[in-house]
A = this chain, B = another copy of it.
Amino acid sequence: MTEGKKNMNLPLITLTTDFGLSDEYVGVMKGVIYTICPTARIVDISHNIRPQDVRQAARIIFSSYRYFPAGAIHVVVVDPDVGSSRRIILLEADGHLFLVPDNGVASLLLPRTQKIYEIDNTTLYRHPVSPTFHGRDIFAPIAAHLASHLAPHSAGSEIARDAPVRLDFAVPSICGNIMRGIVTDIDHFGNLITNIDKERAGCFCSHDFHRLKVHAGALTIHGIVSSYNAVRRDEPLALFGSRNLLEIGINQGNASTKLRLGLDSPICLSI
Contacts and interface: CB of A to CB of B under 8 A. Distances in A.
Q: How many copies does the complex hold?
A: 3
Interface range on chain A (Cβ under 8 Å from partner):
35 or more
A80 B229 contact: yes
A180 interface: no
Interface string A236-258: 00010110000000011010000
Interface string A93-124: 00000000000000000000000000000000
A31 B14 contact: yes
Contact of A34 (B19, B26, B41, B45): B41
Given A83-B226, A189-B51, A31 B64 contact: yes
A32 to B, nearest CB: 5
Interface in A157-216: 185, 187-189
B27 A64 contact: yes
A211 B81 CA distance: 25
A80 B233 CA distance: 10
Contacts of A21: 21, 44, 46-48, 188
B67 A136 contact: yes
Interface of A: 3, 6-7, 10, 12, 14, 18-28, 30-32, 34-35, 38-39, 41, 43-48, 51-52, 60, 63-64, 67-69, 72, 80-84, 130-133, 136, 185, 187-189, 226-230, 239, 241-242, 251-252, 254
